[in-house]
């Protein structure tokens, strides 16, 4: 009995020692984000999530409901604090770092392999970027990595009960971003084309399938009720991305941005090791299938970034085994060289994508290289400008006033920040805004944002220029370059019903 207790204490002590460096690394990255996430402003995508979080439903035109639900909770806890609202994304990325190290451990890696895997993932482009904003990619990344870890645990322990965890995670993934479907296809292919196919006979496998479908069911019902409008949205976005060249360089960018550039030898080693391993071949298919699909279908490179942590973990375990054959000096030198390389690439990624400074050369460098950071400027100024235009109107015009927007960033800014100035709720036709309709009775005076003079005149009556949409910092972004003018107009040229039929927009 004493020996058994001693064994348990020794095991617990070993697990704790393994976790300490992983938790320290995750904590350091989380601290970096927490101390910098309040620097600029909300990104236009964040404004959409926050606006949708104020109109909760079981689905939205652009995505499933989980991300707005998370931000609904965050708003209840933190209000409109950028640091608070981005905290859940930060915690998701911290978890990914720790899980990457734990995957390496389950794949046979010691502490060096565990830390190498976690360090490589921590300093990769998408995890670093995902900690700076809350996007559905932040949580989508987490479900992919957690699912991969659960599959590793399944294959390592042969305990079929892990299918319950896999089903739960995939169900949450389906409630976050639909692209996880292709990870699921890869998982099924891995089952069929590896020795893991015996799992198909397990009742736990089918229980996991049922659990995933049960979690996804509310959103599926919403999709049926709305004629699978998300499919129309995704088709539109895909055509736009291909037309604008956003899908170009998919394969090249897997090497440049899929993971830390210096980790390429590690994840390639991991991919080869997966296919050579009878036990873990399933992981290789979980990588190959989604990458092949998005390459052939012209998807964007970052859609498959979540598959790299499992390959890095496998590669780290195999590299450590090889290093152990070398003399101590050679082993330490190669390890130091690798960590220095990953750190150098990571530092470059950080100065590109993390808002390290409010002013000066670091800020200017980041804004030159990150279009996403540039999109965080100007939203408060937009709302202030609209409030000033409202104040310039006659009392009769103000009594029957509406504010129309042409994109979800403008809509979200007015919806979230406008109450401070007593502005009415915005009217928009983009994504889920269109489903919310227009007020009854409809307004007769409109402040029109996001349209050109010709567009405004073609839709509304008696339009006049009323103000400029920009930002005090002179940052060139979508609003300041493409939507610089604000107009005051009369009612639509046709009926509001006709306007709604003609202007269902996706963006």
Whether residues 280 and 388 fall in one domain: no
Whether residues 95 and 168 fall in one domain: yes
User: Is the CB of residue 465 less than 8 Å from the CB of residue 363?
Assistant: no
Residue 467 falls within a domain, yes or no?
yes
Q: Which two tokens stand for residue 411?
A: 């809509």
Q: Which two tokens stand for residue 339?
A: 């960590």
Domain boundary among 368, 392, 413: 368
Q: What is the pLDDT of residues 318-350, one digit of tens each?
A: 999 999 999 999 999 999 999 999 999 999 999
Does position 11 have pLDDT exceeding 50, yes or no? no
Q: Which two tokens stand for residue 460?
A: 């509304």
Q: Say what the pLDDT of residue 17 is.
A: 83
Q: What is the pLDDT of residues 119-150, one digit of tens each?
A: 999 999 999 999 999 999 999 999 999 999 99
User: Is the CB of residue 389 less than 8 Å from the CB of residue 484?
Assistant: no
Contacts of 351 (CB under 8 A, 6+ apart): 362, 365, 366
Band of residue 40 on the pLDDT scale cut at 50, 70, 90: very high
Query: Residue 412 and residue 170: Cα distance in Å, rounded?
Result: 29
User: Is the CB of residue 155 less than 8 Å from the CB of residue 132?
Assistant: no
Q: What is the pLDDT of residues 163-211, one digit of tens each?
A: 999 999 999 999 999 999 999 999 999 999 999 999 999 999 999 999 9
Residue 55 falls within a domain, yes or no?
yes
Residue 140 falls within a domain, yes or no?
yes
What residue has token string 């042409």?
A: 406
Helices (H), 79-110: 82-85, 87-106
Nearest to 406 by CA among 292, 282, 505: 505
User: Is the CB of residue 54 less than 8 Å from the CB of residue 425?
Assistant: no
Q: How many CA atoms lie within 13 A of 245 on its CB side?
A: 1
Q: Say what the pLDDT of residue 16 is.
A: 75
User: Is the CB of residue 264 less than 8 Å from the CB of residue 255?
Assistant: yes
Q: Say what the pLDDT of residue 85 is.
A: 97
Indicate the length of the chain as a whole number.
Answer: 507
Q: What is the pLDDT of residues 392-448, one digit of tens each?
A: 999 999 999 999 999 999 999 999 999 999 999 999 999 999 999 999 999 999 999
Does position 7 have pLDDT exceeding 90, yes or no? no
Query: How wide is the angle at C-alpha 292 spanned by C-alphas 288 and 294, nearest 5°?
Result: 125
Query: Residue 280 and residue 157: Cα distance in Å, rounded?
Result: 12
339 or 7, greater pLDDT: 339
Whether residues 276 and 357 fall in one domain: yes
Does position 357 have pLDDT exceeding 70, yes or no? yes
Query: Residue 390 and residue 424: Cα distance in Å, rounded?
Result: 10
Where does 98-217 show beta strands of DSSP type E? none
Does position 6 have pLDDT exceeding 80, yes or no? no
Q: Say what the pLDDT of residue 2 is.
A: 47
Residue 507 falls within a domain, yes or no?
no
- The DSSP secondary structure of 213-254, one letter per residue, reads HHHHHHHHHHHHHTTTHHHHHHHHHHHHHHHTTTTTTHHHHH
Domain that holds residue 300: 2-368
Share of the chain above pLDDT 70, in %: 97
Query: Residue 4 and residue 2: Cα distance in Å, rounded?
Result: 5
Whether residues 306 and 442 fall in one domain: no
Residue 460 falls within a domain, yes or no?
yes
Domain boundary among 310, 337, 368: 368
User: Is the CB of residue 283 less than 8 Å from the CB of residue 148?
Assistant: yes
Residue 201 falls within a domain, yes or no?
yes
Q: Say what the pLDDT of residue 9 is.
A: 47
Cα distance from N-terminal residue to C-terminal residue, the chain: 64
Residue 374 falls within a domain, yes or no?
no
Query: Residue 34 and residue 245: Cα distance in Å, rounded?
Result: 34
Whether residues 353 and 492 fall in one domain: no
Whether residues 354 and 451 fall in one domain: no
Whether residues 143 and 279 fall in one domain: yes
Nearest to 179 by CA among 293, 93, 71: 293
Nearest to 75 by CA among 43, 45, 52, 44: 52
Whether residues 414 and 360 fall in one domain: no
Domain boundary among 368, 402, 437: 368
Does position 236 have pLDDT exceeding 90, yes or no? yes
Give phi and psi for 445, each to the nearest 5: -120, 135
Whether residues 334 and 383 fall in one domain: no
Q: What is the pLDDT of residues 286-297, one digit of tens each?
A: 999 999 999 999
Whether residues 293 and 408 fall in one domain: no
79 exposure class (CB count in 10 Å sphere: 0-12, 13-18, 19+) = exposed
Report the chain's mean pLDDT, rounded to a whole number. 95
Whether residues 361 and 403 fall in one domain: no
Whether residues 389 and 303 fall in one domain: no
Q: How many domains does the chain have?
A: 2
- The DSSP secondary structure of 311-380, one letter per residue, reads HHHHHHHHHHHHHTTS-HHHHHHHHHHHHHHHHHHHHHHHHHHS---SSSHHHHHHHHH-HHHHTTSSHH
> Considering just the CA atoms, what is the radius of gyration of the chain in Å?
25
Contacts of 431 (CB under 8 A, 6+ apart): 48, 60, 61, 62, 233, 408, 505, 506, 507
Q: Say what the pLDDT of residue 18 is.
A: 84
Q: How many CA atoms lie within 13 A of 150 on its CB side?
A: 20
Q: Say what the pLDDT of residue 13 is.
A: 55
Hey, what's the torsion of the CAs at 408, 411, 415, 421, to 10 degrees?
Answer: 140
């Amino acid at each position: 009995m004493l020996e058994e207790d001693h064994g348990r204490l020794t095991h617990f002590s070993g697990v704790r020692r393994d976790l300490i460096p992983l938790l320290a690394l995750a904590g350091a990255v989380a601290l970096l984000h927490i101390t910098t996430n309040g620097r600029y402003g909300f990104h236009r995508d964040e404004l959409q999530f926050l606006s949708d979080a104020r109109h909760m439903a079981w689905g939205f035109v652009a995505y499933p409901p989980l991300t707005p639900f998370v931000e609904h909770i965050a708003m209840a806890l933190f209000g409109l604090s950028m640091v608070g609202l981005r905290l859940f994304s930060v915690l998701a990325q911290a978890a990914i770092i720790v899980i990457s190290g734990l995957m390496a451990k389950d794949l046979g890696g010691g502490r060096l392999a565990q830390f190498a895997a976690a360090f490589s993932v921590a300093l990769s482009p998408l995890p670093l970027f995902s900690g700076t904003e809350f996007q559905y990619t932040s949580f989508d990344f987490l479900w992919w990595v957690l699912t991969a870890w659960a599959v590793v645990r399944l294959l390592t322990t042969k305990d079929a009960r892990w299918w319950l965890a896999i089903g739960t995670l995939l169900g949450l993934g389906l409630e976050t971003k639909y692209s996880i479907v292709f990870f699921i296809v890869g998982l099924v292919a891995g089952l069929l084309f590896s020795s893991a196919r015996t799992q198909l006979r397990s009742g736990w496998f089918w229980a996991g399938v049922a659990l995933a479908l049960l979690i996804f069911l509310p959103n599926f019902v919403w999709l049926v009720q709305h004629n699978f409008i998300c499919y129309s949205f995704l088709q539109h976005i895909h055509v736009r991305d291909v037309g604008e060249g956003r899908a170009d360089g998919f394969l090249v960018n897997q090497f440049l941005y899929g993971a830390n550039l210096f980790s390429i030898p590690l994840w390639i080693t991991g991919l080869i090791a997966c296919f050579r391993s009878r036990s873990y071949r399933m992981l290789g298919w979980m990588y190959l299938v989604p990458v092949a699909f998005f390459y052939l279908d012209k998807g964007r490179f970052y859609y498959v970034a979540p598959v790299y942590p499992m390959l890095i973990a496998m590669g780290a375990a195999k590299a450590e085994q090889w290093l152990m054959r070398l003399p101590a000096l050679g082993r330490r030198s190669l390890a130091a060289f690798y960590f220095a390389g990953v750190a150098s690439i990571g530092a470059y990624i950080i100065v590109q994508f993390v808002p390290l400074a409010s002013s000066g050369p670091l800020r200017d460098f980041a804004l030159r290289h990150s279009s996403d950071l540039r999109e965080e400027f100007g939203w408060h100024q937009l709302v202030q400008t609209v409030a000033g235009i409202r104040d310039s109107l006659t009392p009769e015009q103000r009594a029957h006033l509406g504010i129309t927007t042409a994109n979800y960033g403008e809509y979200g800014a007015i919806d979230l920040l406008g109450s401070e100035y007593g502005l009415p709720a915005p009217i928009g036709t983009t994504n889920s805004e269109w489903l919310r309709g227009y007020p009854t009775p409809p307004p007769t005076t409109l402040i029109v944002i996001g349209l050109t003079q010709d567009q405004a005149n073609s839709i509304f009556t008696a339009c006049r220029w009323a103000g400029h949409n920009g930002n005090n910092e002179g940052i060139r972004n979508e609003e300041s370059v493409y939507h610089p003018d604000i107009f005051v107009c009369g009612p639509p040229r046709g009926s509001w019903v006709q306007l709604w039929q003609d202007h269902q927009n996706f963006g």
